[in-house]
Chains A and B, each alone.
Chain A
Amino acid sequence: GENVEQHPSTLSVQEGDSAVIKCTYSDSASNYFPWYKQELGKRPQLIIDIRSNVGEKKDQRIAVTLNKTAKHFSLHITETQPEDSAVYFCAASRKWDNDMRFGAGTRLTVKP
């Protein structure tokens, strides 16, 4: 089955700096890669996703890149703000195969 690894486990940046979180996956058939943000005590919420036919997707200050050959994808947050502080999870699945696997999470702290 799919195995998703996520790094780093914790990340601390200064407000205004960029943050990058990286994930690798093992199943070459995976074609859907979402990212979730989970604030303390709350549910995970989808913030951006990318499909295998796209190499990069951007939404305001967040972007995701995908390298299918190397089987890794990354989340980029620019101009970080204190409200970006949360745990971020990557995931991978064969779309509609109902077998999504999550990374272990990255706790991002943005210092004001």
Chain B
Amino acid sequence: DGGITQSPKYLFRKEGQNVTLSCEQNLNHDAMYWYRQDPGQGLRLIYYSQIVNDFQKGDIAEGYSVSREKKESFPLTVTSAQKNPTAFYLCASLGQVDGGYTFGSGTRLTVV
């Protein structure tokens, strides 16, 4: 998976449930990101973290939460406060060398 792994690939959530999406990287990258992808809207930034134990809100952080307890891991929790959580979620990382993001393979979340 190119050094960054997302799981699960598909996730189904019932109304009112919190669910957590996993993102793990072994690239020794400092920065990690969560994006949401909806048809026709490109990639929208949810949260990002530049360093362990620190993270910042992106453009659409409401209804989401994250943690960064380890450099390798940046899990995203989709809470019941997120009104329209059905989407494709992409995790990415960025190292301090030339080059763009490395993306995970994504998690498709569906509310049932």
Partner among B2, B50, B104 whose Cβ is within 8 Å of the Cβ of A98: B50
Partner among B35, B40, B100 whose Cβ is within 8 Å of the Cβ of A46: B100
CB <8 Å contact, B103 and A89: no
Nearest B-chain residue to A96, judged by Cβ: B96
CB <8 Å contact, A45 and B42: no
Complex alpha-carbon distance, A42 and B42, angstroms: 14
Contact A44-B103, Cβ < 8 Å, known A98-B48, A98-B50, A98-B94: yes
CB <8 Å contact, B31 and A49: no
A100 at the binding interface (Cβ < 8 Å): yes
Contact A43-B104, Cβ < 8 Å, known A98-B31, A105-B42: yes
The tally of residues in B whose CB lies under 8 Å from a CB in A reads 23
CB <8 Å contact, A42 and B105: yes
CB <8 Å contact, A104 and B42: yes
CB <8 Å contact, B40 and A43: no
B41 at the binding interface (Cβ < 8 Å): yes
CB <8 Å contact, A89 and B42: yes
Complex alpha-carbon distance, A43 and B93, angstroms: 13
Contact A45-B40, Cβ < 8 Å, known A96-B96, A98-B48, A98-B50: no
B 65-97 binary contact with A (CB < 8 Å = 1; else 0): 000000000000000000000000010001010
Nearest B-chain residue to A43, judged by Cβ: B103
Q: How far is the CB of B84 from chain A (nearest CB, A)?
A: 18
Contact sample, A vs B, 13 pairs, CB 8 Å cutoff: A1-B59, A9-B40, A43-B90, A46-B101, A49-B99, A49-B100, A89-B43, A98-B50, A99-B48, A101-B45, A102-B42, A103-B42, A104-B40
Task: List the 5 closest A-B pairs by CB distance, nearest first.
Answer: A34-B100, A46-B100, A104-B42, A43-B103, A102-B43
Query: Assuming A43-B104, A43-B105, A91-B100, what are 5 further A-B pairs, CB within 8 angstroms?
Result: A34-B100, A43-B106, A49-B99, A89-B42, A98-B33
